[in-house]
Amino acid sequence: MFRFTTAVKGIAIDLDSFEESFESWNEIISEFNCLFITSSQEKKEIVESLLRAKVLLTNQFARNFIPNPEVQRKVLLMLNVQESELAYLSANLRFMDNALTFYSCVIYVANETLDYEKFPRLPDLVCNNLSDVKAFLTEGIVSYLGEECFSQDMMKPSAAAVPILEIHCDEDEILLISLGRYYGSKTYMQQLHPYSRILFLNKKKDGKAFRTYDEEFAKLLSETVKTYLKEYSDCICSVPTRKGDINRFDIIVERIAQENKLENISKQFVAKRAYGTQKLLSYTERQENVKDAFAFEGNLAGKRVILLDDIVTTGGTLKECFKTLKAAGAAEVYFLVLGVNQKEIEYGIANQPRVCCPICEAPMMLFVNATNHRLFYSCMPCSHTNGYEKEKEKLLVRINQEFAQIDEIANEENFDMPI
Ligand SMILES: [Zn+2]
């Protein structure tokens, strides 16, 4: 699922960020309700005459600050869609970042692999080109693999994208493949993002849902390895656990290894010394914390290794593992994770949406039933519960109404002025 958008009914295109020819937009506008945003009068005229599409003209100065609430409002009116029905399409990082402050979905078009350091928060979908955009949207692929599988249609992945990023470790660029995004407890999304909650609850040792999703994760990870990594790798291991801890990836790694005919080298990859939890540490502290913490007991000469971990936050642990595996002779290392931690950014939304208890109005928390895997909201103070789908739908209606109200007030302004 996109963060809020369930069906894309309108696309706002950040035209100035694209180098594609005007004609290449035909495949998108023939299928979708589109609006082009540009700061160029010349481009505006071409789009209007050649493509016969709607255009929103902005001024050059405002370029770095869009989309902003003003642009969002105009876009919604011109496309005649609601906030939860709109997708922004851009190839510009700053535009994408601004667009992510709205509930609308954000599709990023990247010609090259995303640089992990530059993406503290990921867009809702990454595509390589316009044909991909069209294919994804027409096939109804609306998010990353893990997020898709653990939303309403549990474990029925039609097809979905996986975020592929690149992490720098000194001179090396290491590929990082993730099943989706992870929103921590400090972002409002943790209340609205089933995948994040499932990641969290599945690893919460004293919780009812502890490890109830291992089977599903194993299946998805194995599929991902098969699609993206099998050809390029020889062996697989997970990040070593601290001494005395059970490695909850043991069974998962073994299954991936067997299904993809890879060597399971987890037992040889160990933690040399105790190290504290990485939680609450800064990037530099994290690097220090795991420095020289691992050892590989064996020889990896010429081997290509897949390294599995659950959530990547700064990449500190992965990088340290990389150094150890490289020192043991590994020719290539690939990172495979369940989620990329979306940094604790408040998403710039002033009134953060909340699912609140209909009885006592306290914010509710998202849980999962360990037996039937159904998602539900629960209120701590009064124990009232309700289904995930129902509450989320009510929230969407509320969000869309709130924006519509702002619309009515702002509507009286002059509409023809460039923004
Ligand atoms: Zn309550």
| Count of alpha carbons within 13 angstroms of residue 378, beta-carbon side | 9
Instruction: Give residue 187 CA to ligand 1 midpoint distance, Å.
Output: 21
CA distances 371 to 40, 137, 156, 196, Å, are: 57, 33, 18, 19
Instruction: Give residue 191 CA to ligand 1 midpoint distance, Å.
Output: 15
Instruction: Give residue 198 CA to ligand 1 midpoint distance, Å.
Output: 22
Instruction: Give residue 194 CA to ligand 1 midpoint distance, Å.
Output: 21
Q: Does domain 10-142 have CATH number 3.40.50.1000?
A: yes
Q: Comparing 10-142 with 164-342, is the CATH topology the same?
A: yes
Instruction: Give residue 365 CA to ligand 1 midpoint distance, Å.
Output: 11
- What is the CB neighbour count within 10 angstroms for residue 245? 9
Instruction: Give residue 406 CA to ligand 1 midpoint distance, Å.
Output: 29
pLDDT of residue 411: 53
Instruction: Give residue 32 CA to ligand 1 midpoint distance, Å.
Output: 42
Instruction: Give residue 131 CA to ligand 1 midpoint distance, Å.
Output: 47
Tens of pLDDT, residue by residue over 232-291, are 999 999 999 887 788 889 999 999 999 999 999 999 999 987 777 777 777 788 777 788
Instruction: Give residue 378 CA to ligand 1 midpoint distance, Å.
Output: 8
Instruction: Give residue 363 CA to ligand 1 midpoint distance, Å.
Output: 8
As a CATH number, domain 164-342 is 3.40.50.2020
Instruction: Give me the amino acid identity at 182.
Output: Y
Domain boundaries defined on the chain: 10-142, 164-342, 365-410
DSSP type of residue 144: B
Burial class (CB in 10 A: 0-12, 13-18, 19+), 330: buried
pLDDT of residue 401: 83
Instruction: Give residue 377 CA to ligand 1 midpoint distance, Å.
Output: 10
Instruction: Give residue 357 CA to ligand 1 midpoint distance, Å.
Output: 5
* Sign (positive or negative) of CA dihedral 281, 283, 289, 293: positive
Q: How far apart are the C-alpha atoms of 258 and 215, rounded to whole Å?
A: 14
pLDDT of residue 406: 62
pLDDT of residue 394: 87
pLDDT of residue 284: 82
Residues of the chain with pLDDT below 50 are 350, 412-418
E runs forming strands in 58-163: 86-90, 105-109, 114-115, 125-127
Instruction: Give residue 232 CA to ligand 1 midpoint distance, Å.
Output: 52
pLDDT of residue 158: 56
For every residue of 225-291, DSSP letters joined together read: IIIIIGGG-SEEEEPPPPTT---TTHHHHHHHHHHHT-EE-GGGEEESS-----TT--HHHHHHHHT
For every residue of 339-366, DSSP letters joined together read: EEEE-S--TT-SS----B-TTT-PBPEE
Instruction: Give residue 265 CA to ligand 1 midpoint distance, Å.
Output: 49
Instruction: Give residue 190 CA to ligand 1 midpoint distance, Å.
Output: 19
Instruction: Give residue 360 CA to ligand 1 midpoint distance, Å.
Output: 4
Global confidence as pTM: 0.90
Instruction: Give residue 384 CA to ligand 1 midpoint distance, Å.
Output: 5
Tens of pLDDT, residue by residue over 64-88, are 899 998 999 999 999 999 988 999 9
Instruction: Give residue 402 CA to ligand 1 midpoint distance, Å.
Output: 23
Burial class (CB in 10 A: 0-12, 13-18, 19+), 314: buried
For every residue of 25-63, DSSP letters joined together read: GHHHHTTS-EEEEES-HHHHHHIIIII--EEEE--TGGG
Instruction: Give residue 39 CA to ligand 1 midpoint distance, Å.
Output: 49
Instruction: Give residue 379 CA to ligand 1 midpoint distance, Å.
Output: 5
